[in-house]
Amino acid sequence: MPRCMVHVSHQQATCLASYVCGGVLTGLSGLLSSPQYPDNYPNNAECRWVMQVSNSTVVSLVFYDFQLEKSEDCSFDYVSLFDGPSVSHRHLGHFCGGTKPPDIVSSTNQLLLVFKSDFNIGGRGFKASYFSGEANKTNSECQQVFTAITGNFSSPRYPNIYPNNINCHWTVQQPPGYRVKVQFLHFELEARDSLSDACDYDFVAIFDGDTLLGKWCGQDQPPSLLSSGNRLLFVLSADRKSASRGFHVSYAGAMSHDNHERSMWTHRI
């Protein structure tokens, strides 16, 4: 059943629409987006999401897409973030327009996102993903953005066993006009769930922009990949139990007009 946000007007409380809007998110990771995304969000919406992960962990929030009405002080349509479950906690930022907010990391295990729109002019809205991570985990080990044309990266502590109960993300960002080629040199994660045959425990997920290319686990090494744009996002999610050596991956930029490169790599996705 769809649900809606209750809007309190001067006269009465009314249910504005049957779109999903707000809630408490308690998984180790998850996706959230503005109402009706990727279509334009409705006017007069007010939504609140509380992201709540395990005690002794923190919340990392990454925006994949962001397009709201722009104003000088972001007083019309906006996303506002707070370092805790309510607006009384420390304010982390206030955002509008078409520029994606930076990656946000809370100081506790809860993060509040407030989305509000006024009575006219809208936009596509936003899409974001949150992950839990160790409170003492440094960004240099578990949350990185790579902008070099070529490079390598690996799971935390590789070639030793990666930690339990982590959610890490790595972004490979190439210049405009380039695409991202990826090849895994080693891949070893906790095995699939024997009952569901799915990657329910530890996994790597790869996003090509907003599109999920797949989730991999066990020794099912991802194929060589070529992005459709100039950015790929890699997510490593590990549960509280078994762990393995992890992965090591190599990437390189390729000019998007290079038809040979395109034909050589695209069929492998």
CATH of the domain at 100: 2.60.120.290
Same domain, 17 and 130: yes
Residues 183 and 90 in one domain: no
Q: Is residue 246 part of a domain?
A: yes
Both 206 and 92 in one domain: the answer is: no
Which band of pLDDT confidence, cut at 50, 70 and 90, is reported for residue 265? very low
pLDDT surpasses 90 at 77: yes
Is 1 part of any domain?
Answer: no
Phi, psi of 259 (to 5 degrees): -65, -30
Looking at residue 7, what is its pLDDT?
35
Q: Quick check: 214 pLDDT over 90? A: yes
The residue-averaged pLDDT of 10-26 equals: 61
Between 154 and 269, name the one with better pLDDT: 154
Q: How far apart are CA 161 and CA 242, in angstroms?
A: 10
Would you say residue 15 has pLDDT above 50? no
Question: Is 244 found in the same domain as 177?
Answer: yes
User: Which pLDDT band holds residue 239 (cuts at 50, 70, 90)?
Assistant: confident
Predicted confidence at residue 102, as pLDDT, reads: 80
In single-letter form, the type of residue at position 48 comes to R
As for how many domains the chain has, the answer is 2
Same domain, 165 and 130: no
Look at residue 134 in the predicted model and tell me its pLDDT. 66
Closest to 106 in 3D by CA, of 77, 153, 143, 76:
143
Model pTM?
0.52
Query: Percentage of the chain surpassing pLDDT 90?
Result: 50
Q: DSSP letters along 239-253, please?
A: -SS----EEEEEEEE
- Which residue range is the domain that position 147 belongs to? 139-266
Whether the per-residue pLDDT at 209 is higher than 60: the answer is yes
When pLDDT is averaged across residues 59-69 and rounded to a whole number, the result is 90
Mean pLDDT of the chain: 83
- Give the bridge partners for 205, in sequence order: 215, 235
Q: Can you read off the two tokens belonging to residue 255?
A: 């000019």
